[in-house]
Amino acid sequence: MKEYFKSKFFYIITVITLLVTIVPTVYAHMGVTFVFRDAVNVILTPMQKVFNAAADAVDGFTGYFYKFDALVEENAALREEVNALQAQVYDNRELEQMYAWMSEFLEMKIQHTDFKFTKATITGRESGNYSSVLTLDVGSGAGITVGMPVVSSQGLIGQISEVGYNWSRVTTLAEAQSAAGAYVERSNATGIAEGNLALAKDGQCYLNYLSADADIQVGDRILTSGYGVYPRGLVIGYVEAVETNPYNRTLSAVIGLAVPIAELNNVMIITESAPYAE
C-alpha cells in the first residue's frame, strides 16, 4: 500500500483532483467562471452530439419497428379483405352460372309442367372415343332409381342404369343397346331411336322402323314419343341422312344427337313425370 502512495499514478490522480476542485473555485473568486464553463462545454459538446445522435438513432430504430408492425397488421387486414372479396366474387359467379344454367331448363319446365327435376354433376366418364356412360354424384339417397330419364337443357341424354347411395350411372342413347320410342316433329312419323356402336363415336344414332312412305327429311327434329321409359316431347336430335333398307324397303335415318355429351358438366334427372296418354 505504501508503494501505491509513492507511485506516479497516485501523484497524477492527486494533481487532477486538485485542479478540478481548486481551479473552478479560484476562477469563481476572480469572476471568470465563464472560462471554466467554456472549457467544460468544449469537452462536453462533442459528447452531447454523440449522445443525441445515439438517442435519435434509437428513436428512429424503434419508430421503424413500430411502423413495420403497423404495416404488417395493415397488410394482414387488407389480405383478409381481399380474400373475402374474392370469395364473394366466386360465390356470385357460382350463383350467376347456376342461375343461367337453371334458366335454360325454364322452357322445358314450361312445356312440361308435370316434370320434377333433381340436379346432378358428372363425376366420371367411360373412357373411349365417345363417352356414352356417365357417372353422377347423386344416387338412392336423393331418391334416384334405375330407369329415370337424364336430360340437359338441349334434350335427352339417356337413363339411369345403375344406382348406389350417393352415385349413379347413366347409359346414354348412343349406347348400342339403348332404344327410345320416337317421332318426327314435323310429320308425326314414328320409329325407334337406337344406339349404334359405329355411329356413337360421332354422336349419332339410328331412327329405325320407319314405314316405307314415312315423311322424313334431313333437318327434321326428332322427339321422344312417350312410349317406354322416356316422357313425350324430349329432343333426341336432328335428321342428318335418310336411308332405305334394301331388304324390307323400310326407311332409316341417321340422327345427330342434340346433346354434346363430351361438353357436359351438369345434368338434370327427371324424377317424376305424368304418363303419356293419346
**What type of residue sits at position 177?**
Q
In whole angstroms, give the CA distance from residue 135 to residue 267: 11
Q: Which residue has the cell 350417393?
A: 166
| pLDDT for the residue 34 | 47
pLDDT score at 275:
83
Give the per-residue pLDDT at 219: 96
- Neighbouring C-beta atoms of residue 101, cutoff 10 Å: 15
Give the DSSP per-residue string, 93-133.
Answer: HHHHHHHHHHHHTHHHHHH-TT-EEEEEEEEEE--SSS--E
Identity of the residue numbered 81: E
| Phi, psi angle pair for 181, to nearest 5° | -60, 135
pLDDT < 70: residue spans in the chain: 1-69, 85, 87-104, 127-131, 278
DSSP-assigned beta bridge partners for residue 266: 121
Q: Which of 275, 268, 173 is nearest to 228 (CA)?
A: 275
Q: What is the pLDDT of residues 46-68, one digit of tens each?
A: 555 555 555 555 555 555 555 66
Query: Are 195 and 182 a contacting pair, CB within 8 Å?
Result: no
Distance (Å, whole) CA 105 – CA 153: 5
Residue 267: the pLDDT is: 92
- What pLDDT is stored for residue 78 in this prediction? 73
List, in order of start, the domains of the chain with CATH numbers. 113-272 (2.40.10.340)
pLDDT digits over 175-223, tens only?
988 999 999 999 999 999 999 988 988 999 999 999 989 999 999 999 9
- Alpha-carbon Rg for the chain, nearest whole angstrom, is 47
Q: Is 151 left (phi over 0), alpha (psi -120 to 50) or beta?
A: beta
